């Protein structure tokens, strides 16, 4: 019997791949929610792959197949960099907007965790959000046209069990430089059609995007009333505290499902 619950789509962070979210996907699926993810075009790619390319991929290859072919509802779970192209990909695809067009299915929720919140649509790029420079643990490789994190464990996985952290670190990929230096498309998190349907999970022990920076991002994201949850975790709660993280996501999903 086909589930009528929303489909979770996990949008990976920069340099991350879908395998990093595999156990979280297992937990969500075990709770009755179909779950999917995919490798973003800019990850591991030194070509001219823009953030718009990531946005178009998420929209056309991840979201729309569930909406158009199956008439399903979708909830986006967006990590770090993934929050920027992920929210932009949902623009115009809310359930209310699609229903007004006589279409089935739609995006019914957006969950950001330790994520960038950039409104976009004004010509600025992701590097603008970082003040035009990179933190010490990120190294631009101009010749290869990528951004590298040579020692990801201390910044991305400090609370992850050592064997799992080593495995995750070994499967990270360089992030395409173009994705940080091309104009950010317009986000959808402040759309009236996502009222009461946007949430942010803050990671209290994060050294990659510190909790106070996450709080500032939420406060500066004018428009929606954010549902904010907290978890005592590093930058990767899906690996370091997966069961607790899953509980929070399921709680948020049930809240979205109850919104008229």
Which tokens go with 156?
């991305």
Overall pTM surpassing 0.85 (yes/no): yes
Mean pLDDT score of the chain: 96
Could you tell me the pLDDT band of residue 2, with boundaries at 50, 70 and 90? low
Q: What is the mean pLDDT of residues 43-55?
A: 97
pLDDT of residue 222: 85
C-alpha distances (whole Å) from 217 to each of 54, 55, 120, 129, 170 are 22, 21, 14, 10, 30
Residue burial 2-27, b: 16+ Cβ < 10 Å; e: rest: eeebbbbbbbbbbbbbeebbbebbeb
pLDDT of 102 reads: 98
Domains and CATH numbers, the chain: 7-257 (3.40.50.1820)
- Kindly list the distances between the CA atom of residue 100 and the CA atoms of 97, 105, 106, 194, 258, in Å, as whole numbers in the listed order: 5, 11, 11, 15, 19
Residue 131 is predicted with a pLDDT of: 79
For residue 211 the two structure tokens come to 């909790």
Residues near 5 by beta carbon (within 8 Å), at least 6 away in sequence: 32, 33, 34, 257
134 CB-side CA count, 13 A: 14
pLDDT tens digits, residue range 138-177?
999 999 999 999 999 999 999 999 999 999 999 999 999 9
- Mean pLDDT of the region 41-69: 98
Residue 1 has pLDDT above 50, yes or no: no
């Amino acid at each position: 019997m086909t589930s009528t619950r929303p489909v979770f789509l996990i949008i990976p962070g920069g340099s991350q791949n879908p395998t990093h979210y595999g156990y979280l996907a297992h937990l969500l699926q075990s709770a009755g929610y179909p779950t999917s993810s995919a490798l973003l075009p800019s990850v591991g790619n030194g070509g001219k792959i823009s953030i718009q390319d990531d946005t178009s991929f998420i929209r056309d290859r991840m979201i729309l197949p569930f909406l158009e072919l199956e008439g399903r509802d979708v909830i986006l779970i967006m990590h770090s960099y993934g929050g920027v192209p992920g929210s932009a990909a949902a623009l115009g695809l809310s359930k209310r907007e699609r229903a007004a067009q006589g279409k089935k299915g739609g995006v019914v929720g957006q969950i950001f965790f330790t994520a960038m919140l950039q409104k976009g649509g004004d010509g600025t790029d992701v590097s603008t959000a970082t003040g035009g420079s990179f933190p010490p643990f990120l190294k631009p490789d101009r010749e290869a046209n990528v951004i590298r994190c040579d020692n990801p464990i201390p910044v991305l996985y400090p609370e992850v069990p050592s064997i799992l952290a080593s495995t995750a670190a070994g499967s990270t990929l360089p992030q395409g430089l173009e994705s940080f230096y091309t104009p950010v498309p317009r986000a959808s998190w402040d759309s009236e059609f996502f009222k009461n349907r946007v949430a942010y999970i803050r990671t209290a022990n994060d050294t990659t995007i510190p909790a106070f920076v996450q709080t500032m991002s939420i406060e500066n994201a004018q428009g929606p009333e954010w549902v904010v949850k907290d978890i005592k975790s590093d930058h990767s709660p899906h690996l370091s505290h997966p069961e607790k993280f899953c509980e929070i996501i399921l709680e948020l999903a049930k809240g979205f499902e109850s919104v008229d």
